[in-house]
Structure 1
């Protein structure tokens, strides 16, 4: 008897790697579809504007990776895949955090016409940080057996929540009191300032310190914080020494 044709949706390369290891090693079945993005920041309403947003962030971050500009999840491709086979269940892997919760809402919007079952892993059971990526493949495999159903009513509510996020125009989101909230781009500026000393300090160290002080439900990457550091430099609140073409090549200090 063949195994059910599960489709697993997961956000981020690290999470995808762990989930694929769970499939390869611990008996989890199905196809894993990975979307390598961070949905806690950046516009959600347009692929071109999202690419432009990330292009600006990378200007002072350093050499561009091969695919530097995350694009919005292409759920049209998923829908086409679902119509070509008889996948009975789509499982969305998303913890209680800003990026993955936005992914959950986006996925529910993209799957609004899907007639099969939709489930979720990540509401409970995650160890340490509430993200899929830091979990062991063995734990992920065991959590699949405890997955929760996302019924049509809940799916519709989450879809509406995504439309609100998409159309708000905000470019920074946080997980707060059990939901995703739009916030101002400058929310973390005070954190960066507190991590910047009055003596010269490598810019990368300041960004790394700020990353370590982020709330566990709202982790931010160095690309976003590098962009905000550059904003503070341009505003004259932080002084920079050296060429600012790469985060690792210049020092900063508070004025």
Structure 2
């Protein structure tokens, strides 16, 4: 019997393969706290825009794979109908959506689903014994829970907001992308500094720190520059290749 281990991002599948053969690892390679969830072409376009100005590479080369990983997983599961599926998730909005998305996409597979909390140290799974211990303690998702989570995913995918965050109580909040723009403006000095430094310092000062990644803050930076609220002194191709500063007077005032 082949078991499957699902992650939203790559954790390095070698530790999994070594510790629990013949387990198969699946990596969605996406951040589901951002962007459309029900339209593949719109999601791909959203991520191309998110990566605008982020680095020198063509955004087309780094954009999301859309929903193709889920179709691939469905195909693999059909070839191993008796396997178990372990969903590894952390306490963040991206994985909150991820496990519900998995319940939606795998609704017709019939495989037993289990949820595993990712340890505080992150995705690194250092030992055979530790991995086996975590899998042994995995909670099986009941049919009723699977249905509820699948329905929750459909509901959140239908919402117009493109940003999803967890509040202090662990409840998902859907928000407009510009909700943190004032915070980034407050972090931006009136003296020139590298765009990469502004993005890094904004991430570090956010609460909780680093919850929203550098790609998100890059996208908000591009929007603030487009709006004339932040100035840039070079071509916006790669965060380390140009400087920014907060505009001291808003155009039109």
Contact in 2 for aligned 1:172/1:184 (Cα 8 Å)? yes
Pairwise CA distance, 1:219: 1.8
Residue 7 (structure 1) aligned to one of 4, 25, 36 = 4
For 1:146, the equivalent position in structure 2 comes to 137
1:219 pairs with 2:211: yes
Residue 110 (structure 1) aligned to one of 101, 105, 111 = 105
Residue 237 (structure 1) aligned to one of 229, 234, 252 = 229
Residue 191 (structure 2) aligned to one of 160, 175, 199 = 199
Residue 65 (structure 2) aligned to one of 43, 63, 71 = 71
How far apart, in 2, do the equivalents of 1:175 and 1:144 lie?
A: 26
Contact in 1 for aligned 2:203/2:210 (Cα 8 Å)? no
CA-atom RMSD in angstroms: 2.2
Contact in 1 for aligned 2:233/2:244 (Cα 8 Å)? yes
Return 227-236 or 70-79, whichever deviates more: 70-79
SS in 2 for 1:112: coil
Gaps of 5+ in 1: none
For 1:165, the equivalent position in structure 2 comes to 156
For 2:244, the equivalent position in structure 1 comes to 252
Alignment of 1:81-96 (within 5 A): 81-96=76-91
Return 211-220 or 50-59, whichever deviates more: 211-220
SS in 1 for 2:102: helix
SS in 2 for 1:50: helix
| TM-score normalised per structure 1 | 0.86
Alignment: residue pair count? 242
Q: CA, structure 1 residues 127+43, in 2 after alignment: closer, same or farther (shift >3 Å)?
A: same
1:53 pairs with 2:50: no
| TM-score normalised per structure 2 | 0.86
Contact in 2 for aligned 1:175/1:217 (Cα 8 Å)? no
Q: CA, structure 1 residues 102+140, in 2 after alignment: closer, same or farther (shift >3 Å)?
A: farther
Q: CA, structure 1 residues 98+37, in 2 after alignment: closer, same or farther (shift >3 Å)?
A: same
How far apart, in 1, do the equivalents of 2:243 and 2:209 lie?
A: 29
How far apart, in 2, do the equivalents of 1:70 and 1:47 lie?
A: 10
Residue 172 (structure 2) aligned to one of 175, 180, 186 = 180
Return 45-54 or 80-89, whichever deviates more: 80-89
How far apart, in 2, do the equivalents of 1:21 and 1:65 lie?
A: 31
SS in 1 for 2:62: coil
Q: CA, structure 1 residues 140+218, in 2 after alignment: closer, same or farther (shift >3 Å)?
A: farther
Pairwise CA distance, 1:202: 0.7
How far apart, in 1, do the equivalents of 2:82 and 2:5 lie?
A: 11
For 2:25, the equivalent position in structure 1 comes to 32
SS in 2 for 1:121: strand
How far apart, in 2, do the equivalents of 1:206 and 1:167 lie?
A: 33
SS in 2 for 1:96: coil
How far apart, in 1, do the equivalents of 2:44 and 2:178 lie?
A: 20
Contact in 1 for aligned 2:50/2:219 (Cα 8 Å)? yes
SS in 2 for 1:32: strand
Gaps of 5+ in 2: 248-253
